[in-house]
Amino acid sequence: MNTESTTTKVADGARSLADNVLQSAQDAVQTTRDKARESLDKAESGVRELRREASPVIDDLAARAHDLATRSIDFCAESSARARHQVQQAADATTRYVTQQPGKSVAIAAAAGAAVTAAVLLMSRRRNP
């Protein structure tokens, strides 16, 4: 019975060793899970912090872009109004000149027409060698 008792002791020892190894493996898995959870919590906290810090920056950029767009639209509207006013002044001045000096106006118009006609004829002759 000595052999049986030795075999039993060895088997019990092997079971105990296997249980210890299994327990160690389970502890290692649990520790790994805990560390992974901890790392994920830190990462999540970091992402929340970045979002919190980035939000005002994004809002500021959006406000600046809106302000720039508004100023650009205002500038274009003012430029358009100035150009319209200058064209209207030129038209009024031309009307006054034609009314005050109709003879000169007809002569200037005829000279301008002749110059344009001469330029067109000259350009058409250059194209047709």
pLDDT digits (tens, 9 = 90+) for 20-63: 888 888 888 899 988 888 888 888 888 888 888 878 888 888 89
| Contact call for residues 105 and 97 (beta carbons, < 8 A) | yes
Residue with tokens 């019975």: 1
Q: How far apart are CA 19 and CA 27, in angstroms?
A: 12
Q: How far apart are CA 95 and CA 60, in angstroms?
A: 52
pTM of the predicted protein model: 0.44
Q: What is the pLDDT of residues 67-98, one digit of tens each?
A: 999 999 999 999 999 999 999 999 999 899 88
Q: How far apart are CA 61 and CA 68, in angstroms?
A: 10
The two structure tokens encoding residue 100: 């005050």
DSSP 8-class letter at 29: H
